């Protein structure tokens, strides 16, 4: 007898990318996202460090959220530390299924692209929380 698996129809699957507009920067949204962080269940919440604008800095914040050392030991070519590759590897190995990013309205277009590439590579569900009344230009 053949084993039949029922696939979830595309319309029934939740979207793999969600943008939440926290119009009034309500603290309950931040607390809820931080409380949802539970690595054993595959859910992580990333609260990017203030004042950090680099792509590598965001990868370091992500590694820290994964409970891994943000600074990799070893020698790497000038200007290239494989922090994003390490984050993707850890997300796949653990395995992480959901990533929520707070303060997404402060992310540059390049940092958002890095997160979208990570989503495509790992298959995670990505939620970006913007604590502003309108979607920032970088997220359009």
Give the whole-number percent of the chain exceeding pLDDT 70: 82
User: Residue 14 pLDDT > 90, yes or no?
Assistant: no
Q: What mean pLDDT do residues 21-28 have?
A: 92
Q: Minimum mean pLDDT among 72-76, 81-85, 127-131: which range? A: 72-76
pLDDT grade, residue 1 (50/70/90)? very low
CB–CB of 72/83 below 8 Å? yes
| C-alpha dist (Å) from residue 35 to 83, 111, 118, 126 | 25, 24, 23, 16
The secondary structure of residue 21, as a DSSP letter, is: E
- Across the chain, where does the E strand assignment appear? 17-21, 43-46, 98-101, 125-130
């Amino acid at each position: 007898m053949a084993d039949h698996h029922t696939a979830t129809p595309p319309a029934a699957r939740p979207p793999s990318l969600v943008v939440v507009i926290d119009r009034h920067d309500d603290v309950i949204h931040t607390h809820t996202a931080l409380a949802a962080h539970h690595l054993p269940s595959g859910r992580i919440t990333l609260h990017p460090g203030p004042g950090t604008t680099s792509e590598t800095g965001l990868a370091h914040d992500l590694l820290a959220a994964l409970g891994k050392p943000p600074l990799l030991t070893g020698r790497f070519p000038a200007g290239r530390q494989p922090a994003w590759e390490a984050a993707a590897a850890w997300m796949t190995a653990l395995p992480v299924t959901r990533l929520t990013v707070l303060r997404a309205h402060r992310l540059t277009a390049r940092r958002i692209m890095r997160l979208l590439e990570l989503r495509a590579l790992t298959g995670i569900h990505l939620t970006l929380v913007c604590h502003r009344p309108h979607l920032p230009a970088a997220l359009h």
